[in-house]
Amino acid sequence: MTTDSGTGKRPPVSLRTEALEQLLTERGLIDPKVMDGIITTYETQVGPLNGAKVVAKAWTDPEYRRRLLKDGTAAIKELGFSGAQGEHIVVVENTATTHHVVVCTLCSCYPWPVLGLPPSWYKDPAYRSRVVKEPRTVLSEMGLDLDDDVRITVHDSTAEVRWLVLPERPAGTEHLSEEELVPLVTRDAMVGVAKVAAP
């Protein structure tokens, strides 16, 4: 483990990443322009912002919401989001009485075009095994307490089918436009481990 000689602590991830990139560039193993393109893709073209746009449109356009719940892949593609790990996405809707949460019990299958790369907790063996057996407890530990009468359904993503949760639209946001709703939607809400909070 590399440590800072003055403090004995590891430098921040950003500094370690920068040092690694510089070393790989100096040795001719990577092209900085290619790296910049990959980073830009995941920052602006692939990731939770795309999913948030899908959710906001579904909240404000009932016809789009209907298409999304009927054929998630096709409706998501209407907004220009498709590609690897997004070939077959099923969308399920959270309501006041039903809550959906997503896991991949085998590895970390995840709808990259709308959620980006999976977070570390999603890949953690403890989450992958426990959320299936005791979803209410796991959700509570992650900060989401659901009433006892809310039915929880756990969906297991696979290489064939990936899941996206359409969260409940928070009360008090009826006056907000589609564009204003987008920043409210989080990755965790689209996985089902959180709810969308009103501004």
Q: Find the DSSP H helices in 12-47.
A: 13-26, 32-40
Say what the pLDDT of residue 163 is: 98
pTM: 0.80
Say what the pLDDT of residue 96 is: 97
- Residue 108 catalytic? yes
DSSP states of 123-179 as a string?
H-HHHHHHHHH-HHHHHHHTT----TTSEEEEEE--SS-EEEEEPPPPTT-TT--HH
Distances (CA, A) of 70 to 10, 65, 89, 120: 49, 9, 11, 30
Enumerate residue ranges in the chain where pLDDT < 50.
1-3
- Residue 107 catalytic? yes
- Residue 177 catalytic? no
pLDDT, tens digit (0-9, with 9 covering 90-100), for 64-121: 999 999 999 999 999 999 988 889 999 999 999 999 999 999 988 999 999 988 999 9
Catalytic one of 107, 129, 140, 177: 107
Q: Which residues of 36-63 are buried (b: 16+ CB within 10 A; e: fewer)?
A: eeeeeeeeeebbbbbbbbbbbbbbbeee
